[in-house]
Each structure stands twice: as C-alpha cells, then as structure tokens.
Amino acid sequence: MKIFLIHPKAEGSFRMPPLGLQIIATVLKEHGYESIYDIDPNKGDDPYGLDYSGKDVLVGITVTYMTVLEVSRLAEWIKNKNREATIILGGPQTTLEPEESIHNKNVDVVVIGEGHETILEIAGRMSEKKTLEGIKGVWYKNEKKEIIKNRPRNFTKNLDTIPYIDRSFFHERDYVRHQGTFLEKWFVPVTWYMMTAFSCPYNCNMCQPGLRKIAGPWRQRSVAHVIREIQFLKEKYHAKVISFYDNDMGINKEWLKEFCRETKKIKGIVLKCCGRANLLDYEMLKIMKEGGFHSITVGAESGSDRVLKDIMNKKTAVRDIIDIARNCYKLKIRLGTFWMLANPGETLEEMKETIALASELPVFYAHFHLAVPNPGTQYYLDALQGGYLKLSSWNDVSDRRHPAIIKDGVTVDDIMNIDEYLITTMVKKGWNYTYNPPTLSFFNTRRFLRWFPLLVFGNEMNMFLRDFKFYHFRNVYLGLLYWLNPKEAEM
C-alpha cells in the first residue's frame, strides 16, 4: 500500500512541522506500513509532482479553513490521475464542517476528531479489502456512493499512550532552511516542536467552542513521559531548543513546577512555550527560568479591559499583561505578545489603546493580527447571526486589506489606517518590523540590546537585509542609549 500524508500550504502560515500528521505517520509505520510519504509544501515539496498510480493508494490530506480551496483542487487533480486512489480528509475543518467535506465528489472518507487510531483502522480495512463499516470517527461513501455516517470516536484520555513522534520523516531544520535568510538558514539553532497537552479549558470567544470540538477536553501528558522525549531528542539529534505547541503552559501549576525541577537537570536545553498572562506570576516565572525557559509568548490580545472582558471573554486584564511583561524583563526572559485588532464591537480608540500599550511594554517581540472569525468559534457564530461577516473567501484571511469583521461603524479604510498608525507608532519607539500577509511582527531593539547584544544586532542586520530600511540604524542608536542608561529601560 502506498500512503501519502499531505499538509497543504497556507498563505502566511508559520513555519512549524505538522505534529498531527507526524503522529499519524508514526502510528502507521509502527504497524508495518512502510511506504509513507509525509509531504509538506512549506518545506519545498510539491504534492502535484508525486506518483499516485497503483491499486492500493491512500491519500490523507489535512484541511484547515485556509486550505479548503487548495485541498479541493488537489483532490480533483489526484482523482484525475488515479480514480482508484482513496482520498481521506482530516483536520480541524473536517471536524467542524464534515458535511461540506464529505459532499466533495472527489473525497471518499472524512475523519472527524483525532485521527491516529482511526487511520490505522482505515488502512487495515483497505488492506483486507473490507468496508469501513463501524469504524468510529468516520464518514464515508459506500460502493453505491451513499454517505455513511459512523458513530463519533472518543478523545484519547491518556496521552502517554500516543507514541513519541518518529522524527525521521523530515528534519526540523527544513522548516527554516527553505524560507529564511542566510542567517536563519545556517546559524539559527534548530527548534524541535513538542506538545505536553491538548486543547484548552478556557472559553475565549475567538477560540471556543470550536477548539474544544476539534481537540476535546484539556488533557496533559505525564511529566516523566515528556522528559523522556526531551532526553531522546537531546541524545539522538543533539537538540538544543525545544518549543511547546501547548496553548497555555501554566494551566497545571504543580505539573509545571515538577516539570521544571526535571528540566533543570538537563544541561544545554533552551525551552520555549506559550502561556496566559494571569497564570504566570513572578515566582512561577522564576521557577520556569531556572528550568530552562528562556522565551514565553502570551496572547495579550488587547490594551482595553472592556475588549478583554466583554468582547473576548478572555479572563485576563491589562494589569496582568503589564505584570508579566515587567516580571519577564526582570528575569531576562524574552517575552513575546500576540495582539488582535478590529475585534467585533471594538472602537478605533480601543485599537489605539492596544497599540499604545504594546509599544511601551518591555517585551522582545509583538505580533499583530486582525481578528479572524475562525469557523466554529463564538466570533464566527455571532458574525453569521449578526450579518457582519465580510468574507467572500477564506483565502482573503491572509490579506489585511480584506478584514473579515466589519461592525459598529468601523470601516475597511479605518482598519487599513490603523495598520499605518501601528507601523508609525512602533517604529518611532525603536521597534523594527516584518510583514507576513496576515501578521505584522515587531521586534524590540531599544530595550533588549543591553542584554542580548549579539541576538539583537543579528536580528537588526537580518531585518535590514530583508527590507533595507534605514530606521534600523536609529533603532540600534536607541538601544545603545538604553544600554548606557539602564533605568530608562524599566517600565
């Protein structure tokens, strides 16, 4: 049997390996399926250039809302090459909208929910020339082209039963080498990605209830299970930098404290993660720093308490964001922040409050997105019901000139002007920036030059080679002033 696992390219997506497909590929390989082609166009591979011929061909494709059109095009192309190929769709979009997926004439099977157990049963039935009747978590078309909807599959309760990812399908370095600048390609250490937990227990309107439908209830691996995988990566691949996919690393504080006690014993490892501003106080951050965490990213989202509470249901406050920024700065942890503009019902003044706060915080980098009503979220459901979802195609999500939410008197021109205001404000205060279609990313030179001179100088040079903006020289000058006057760097 020939098995293809494809993760179609999404415009503006982050350069991170597809852990879900890696788990599926690992499970298949462990059960004797050897001809597995793990393909990701983000590292330069071309799914249109592969040989899909043969009688026993299984093609599994991950679908997100940003790749729906590309998946449909690819499925049609494969069927034109081999009508006998079995095309299986899985991923977030198929779980949220399985009807749309299964009614595609070129799709044979849809996997709903977690796929690592389901795909194994599908491959087994195909090998034995049997139907997919009764396989949980599967919708499929029978020989009469009738749609059969099997019962849902429960989410895996014990994450320790999921095998460690087989890293031999590709090298993590590929996710930097093919896209980055010269400095990124050859001198930035390889980042290895892991997860310690699935899903999130919070109910933020921009994520839920869709995330819980996709990922199930929040669950976490045991400390021992995660530590063994880190040690394996260090011993076999000489891993030095490990980044965790988890939505919020600080949900289980006792787990995190135990984990940091163990990582403290592993020399030469740098850890990165995401967290929540209201969960990581100074003492917890100090424990994390001692355990090897040098970089943390939080979803700060807004500089307005009203937006955080009434629009986002975030359960954090501006005070929490300020506190974690100050504490990380004191501990020399490089804090990153994600911000959202043009949330439904947000005013222009509140957007400016967000920009003002972000520009003054002592954080290493800040990423700005326009609010996107992801399918299945409260943002999406409210926008549909309220008639303010302005989106002709999900492909437009990657274009900041086509905001998906237009509400309460805020216009497209207002949002585009906010982008210009954002750039002007941040650059004036010593930040440089790069534009990735859905994201404006800013890097803080003025505050961090005195602590990480080589890193900051390298970053400035990297950014200068990309866009040749002379303000980079001014940013270095501001950074030198902060270096000479440390007190001015405090907030």
Residues of the chain with pLDDT under 50: 178-181, 489
DSSP string computed for 120-143: HHHHHHHHTT---TT-TTEEEE-T
Tell me the helix, strand and coil percentages in the chain, rounded to 5. 40, 20, 40
One-letter amino acid for residue 466 of the chain:
R
What does 202-243 look like in DSSP terms, one character per residue?
---TTTTBHHHHHH-S-EE--HHHHHHHHHHHHHHH---EEE
Tracing tokens 């237009």 back to the chain, one arrives at: 406
- How many Å apart are CA 154 and CA 381, to the nearest integer? 25
Q: Compute CA distances 277 → 60, 314, 338, whole Å.
A: 38, 10, 11
HEC string of 410-447 equals CCHHHHHHHHHHHHHHHHHCCEEEEEECCEEEEEECCC
| CA–CA separation, 264 and 267 (whole Å) | 7
The whole-angstrom separation of Cα 433 and Cα 441 is 5
CA dist 72 and 65 (Å) reads: 12
Q: How far is CA 327 from CA 134, 141, 248, 324, 469, in A?
A: 53, 56, 18, 5, 32
Q: Is the pTM of this model over 0.85?
A: yes
- What is the spatial distance between Cα 71 and Cα 198, in angstroms, rounded to a whole number? 25
Is the Cα torsion angle 133, 134, 140, 145 positive or negative in sign? positive
What pLDDT, on the 0 to 100 scale, is given for residue 179? 46
| pLDDT value for 317 | 98
With beta carbons less than 8 A apart as the criterion, state whether 398 and 438 touch.
yes
In 152-195, where do the E strands start and end?
191-194
Task: Yes or no: say if 35 and 91 are a contact pair by the CB < 8 Å rule.
Answer: no
- φ, ψ for residue 43 (rounded to 5)? -105, 15
Cα separation, 374 vs 66, in Å, equals 10
* HEC secondary structure over 361-393: CCCCEEEEEECCCCCCEHHHHHHHHHCCECCCC
CA distances from 232 to 164, 167, 194, 228 (A): 10, 11, 12, 6
Of the CA atoms within 13 Å of residue 316, those in its CB half-sphere come to 27
Between CA 183 and CA 178 the distance in angstroms is 12
